[in-house]
Structure 1
Amino acid sequence: MTTLLWLGSAGLALFVVTLLVDGATRPGYDPVRHPVSALALGPRGWVQTGNFLVCGVLVALAALAVPGTSGSGWLAVPIAVFGVSLLASGVFPMDAMRAYPPGTPDVTPERFSKRHRVHDWFGIAVFMSLPAAAVVATLVLDGAVWRSYSGLTGVAAAVLFAAFGQAWENDSPRAGLLQRVTMVVGWCWLALLLVHLAG
């Protein structure tokens, strides 16, 4: 089962590297403004779609090994929710908007497709399940270092997600940057946690 934990950690690391590299090299895409989900649109959209799917599956599978290595089934639940929601985010891409892909009007649509609304709901689940997992980790993990790191991550991830949400609603030119910081903080914590549990 420890193999699943290592695969989940690798999937999280690959996800972050892929979104950073693809976002920095995608023509017409502004990683400071545009959300990560927008990378699933356009001719190279398959890269981020695959990123969502692979990471989601690997983390969901890793969650199966968490109870036996952490001693708690409760920690596995938000991690599984995170993985499944990430997978669904790849299945249901967001709508084109705010000048991406190139040629898209630089506005927020008055109406969203059903697919986009589903994407949003799963996106909320992704970003809320991470702080939830961190809070549970503070209660079930041994060692002051991991409990402290998990507690700080839970607070930081929740605050950053709220800040990103406000920035996104206001079409802030730094919304994409805030989202990336949120993801790096949360994804790195979870990747390191899975390595720790694989021990």
Structure 2
Amino acid sequence: MTTTLTKSQDTTKVLLGCGAIAGPLYLVTGFAQAFTREGFDLTRHPFSFLSLGEGGWVQIANFVLSGLLFLAMAVGVRKALKGQRAGTWAPILLGIFALGMVAGGVFVADPAFGFPAGAPAGQPETLSWHGVLHGVAFFVAFPALIASCFVFARRFTGTWSRICVAAGVVSIAPIAFMGTDYATVVLYVVAVVSWLWVSAVAVKLRAEI
């Protein structure tokens, strides 16, 4: 019995460890490309555009791999919190977020705002089917991530609970800036906060086992 319990705990730690590395992996890989891909502008182009053009496979792989790692984390959260507060909705919401990331890599965005070279200067006149699905993936995944912040806020107490609430509030910020010149920059700030928050939660839960 003790050996079985230990193996289960070890498996859970491995799954949560996947989530611990997923956030930093996604951000480091994304920003590394953003600063090296010719014509890419962090003030105008979201990470999604890195999936386009020559070398786009790197960001596609980044989306898919990070999403699968977060999906593994969702399974780990389910195992770690089974029968506890947030044990049902936290892994479900994280799973939706993770699958949305995978879909965001499989279905690439349409070229726009001058990237890659030859793309329309603004939004494309019509959206491709994969561009539409990429947008759907984002608008399903990100709300799930935001909701998970508040679910975990109920799971934790004290400082960690406040951190979760703060992460959720910050993640809503892009709504206020939609359509402005600052929208993309704000989105990057939120991405850094949100993705690192998820990984921090994985580290926190792993330490509790």
Report the TM-score, using the length of structure 2 for normalisation: 0.88
1:36–1:176 Cα contact (<8 Å) kept? no
Does 2:26 align with 1:18? no
Higher Cα radius of gyration: 2
Q: Hey, what does 1:48 align to over in structure 2? A: 59
Taking the aligned partners of 1:175 and 1:145, their CA distance within structure 2 comes to 29
Taking the aligned partners of 1:44 and 1:198, their CA distance within structure 2 comes to 35
1:64–1:76 Cα contact (<8 Å) kept? yes
Q: 1:91-170 to 2 correspondence within 5 Å?
A: 91-141=106-156, 143-160=157-174, 162-163=175-176, 166-167=178-179
Structure 2 segments unaligned to the other structure (5+ residues): 1-11
Taking the aligned partners of 1:12 and 1:28, their CA distance within structure 2 comes to 25
* Corresponding residue to 2:187 among 179, 189, 192: 179
Taking the aligned partners of 1:126 and 1:67, their CA distance within structure 2 comes to 18
> Which 10-residue stretch deviates more, 104-113 or 188-197?
104-113
Q: Once the 2 structures are TM-superposed, how far is the Cα of residue 45 of structure 1 from its aligned partner? A: 0.4
1:163–1:178 Cα contact (<8 Å) kept? no
Report the TM-score, using the length of structure 1 for normalisation: 0.92
- Percent of pairs with identical residues: 30
Taking the aligned partners of 1:137 and 1:110, their CA distance within structure 2 comes to 41
- Give the 3-state SS of the residue equivalent to 1:190 in structure 2: helix
1:35–1:175 Cα contact (<8 Å) kept? no
Taking the aligned partners of 1:114 and 1:183, their CA distance within structure 2 comes to 25
Q: Hey, what does 1:78 align to over in structure 2? A: 93
Question: Amino acid of the residue matched to residue 201 of structure 2?
Answer: L
- Give the 3-state SS of the residue equivalent to 2:27 in structure 1: helix
Q: Give CA-to-partner distance per residue, 1:145-181, whole Å, 9 cap, x none.
A: 1111001111110123x145x13xx5x3x43322211
Q: Give CA-to-partner distance per residue, 1:26-83, whole Å, 9 cap, x none.
A: 1011111101100000101011100000000010111011023233122111111110
